[in-house]
Amino acid sequence: MPLDKSVLERNFPEFEFRVERGKIREYALVLGLNDPVHTDVEAARAAGFEDLLAPPTFVRQFWHENPENDPMPHLGYDPKRRLHGEQEFEYHKPLVAGMNLKGRNAIVSTREKEGRRGGMMTFVVIETRFVDEAGELVQVARRTLIETAAPPKEA
Amino acid sequence: MTTTLEYAKWEELTEGAEHELTVGPITRTDLVRYAGASGDFNPNHHDEIYAIRAGFDKPFAHGMLQGGYLARLLSEWLGPGSFKNLKLRFNALTWPGDMVICKARVVRQYEEAEQKLVEIEANAMNQRGDVLIKATATAAPWS
Domain ranges in chain B are: 10-139
DSSP per residue over A21-68, as a string? HHHHHHHHHHHT---GGGT-HHHHHHTT-SSPBPPTTGGGGGTTSSTT
Residue type, A73: P
Spell out which residues of chain A touch residue B54, defining contact as CB-CB under 8 Å.
79-80
Q: How many CB pairs under 8 A join A and B?
A: 118
What is the C-alpha to C-alpha distance for residues B84 and B109, in angstroms, rounded to an integer? 14
Interchain CB distance below 8 Å, B69 and A31: yes
Residue A32 lies in a domain: no
B89 at A interface, C-beta within 8 A: yes
Query: Domain containing A132 — which CATH number?
Result: 3.10.129.10
Q: What integer pLDDT is reported at residue B58 of this predicted model?
A: 96
Query: Does the structure show a pLDDT above 60 at A31?
Result: yes
Mean pLDDT of chain A: 91
Strands (E), B42-98: 83-90
User: Peptide bond before A13: cis, by omega within 30 degrees of 0?
Assistant: no
Q: What is the pLDDT of residue A60?
A: 85
Looking at domain B10-139, its CATH architecture is Roll (3.10)
Q: What is the pLDDT of residues A70-124, one digit of tens each?
A: 998 899 998 878 888 999 999 999 999 999 999 999 999 999 998 877 788 999 9
Number of structural domains found in chain A:
1
* B 56-85 → A contacts, CB under 8 A: 63-65, 67-69, 71-72, 74-76, 80-81, 83-85
Task: Check: CB of residue B123 under 8 Å from CB of residue B116.
Answer: no
Q: Mapping DSSP to helix (H, G, I), strand (E, B) and coil, where does residue B134 land?
A: strand
Q: What is the pLDDT of residue A5?
A: 86
Edge-first strand listing for the sheet containing A137-147: A15-18, A100-114, A120-131, A137-147, A82-91, B83-90, B131-139, B115-125, B100-112, B18-23
Q: What is the pLDDT of residue B15?
A: 98
CB nearest A34 (choices: B5, B68, B87): B5
- What does the pLDDT average to over A13-41? 96
Collect all residues with Cβ–Cβ distance below 8 Å to B68 and sequence separation of at least 6: A27, A30, A31, A55, A57, B34
Residue A116 lies in a domain: yes
* Per-residue pLDDT at A151: 62
Q: Which residue has the higher pLDDT, B143 or A23?
A: A23
What pLDDT sits at residue A155? 38
Q: Is the pLDDT of residue A46 over 80?
A: yes
B97 touches chain A (CB under 8 A): no
Tens-place pLDDT, residues B31-43: 999 999 998 898 9
Query: Which chain A residues contact residue B75 at CB under 8 A?
Result: 33, 35, 55-56
Q: Alpha-carbon dihedral of residues A95, A18, A68, B56, nearest 10 degrees? A: 60
As a whole number of angstroms, the distance between CA B19 and CA B126 comes to: 16
Q: Which domain holds residue A141?
A: 12-19+58-147
Contact A126, A151 (CB under 8 A): no
- Euclidean distance between CA atoms B80 and B94, whole angstroms: 26
Q: From CA B100, how far away is CA B132, in angstroms rounded?
A: 8
User: Residue A135 region, left (φ>0) first, then alpha (ψ -120 to 50), else beta?
Assistant: left
- Asked if residue A52 lies in contact with residue A25, where contact means CB atoms within 8 angstroms, the answer is yes
Task: Give the tens place of pLDDT for each residue, B89-112.
Answer: 999 999 999 999 999 999 999 999
Spans of chain B below 50 pLDDT: 1
**Does residue A33 sit within a domain?**
no
Higher pLDDT, A155 or B11: B11
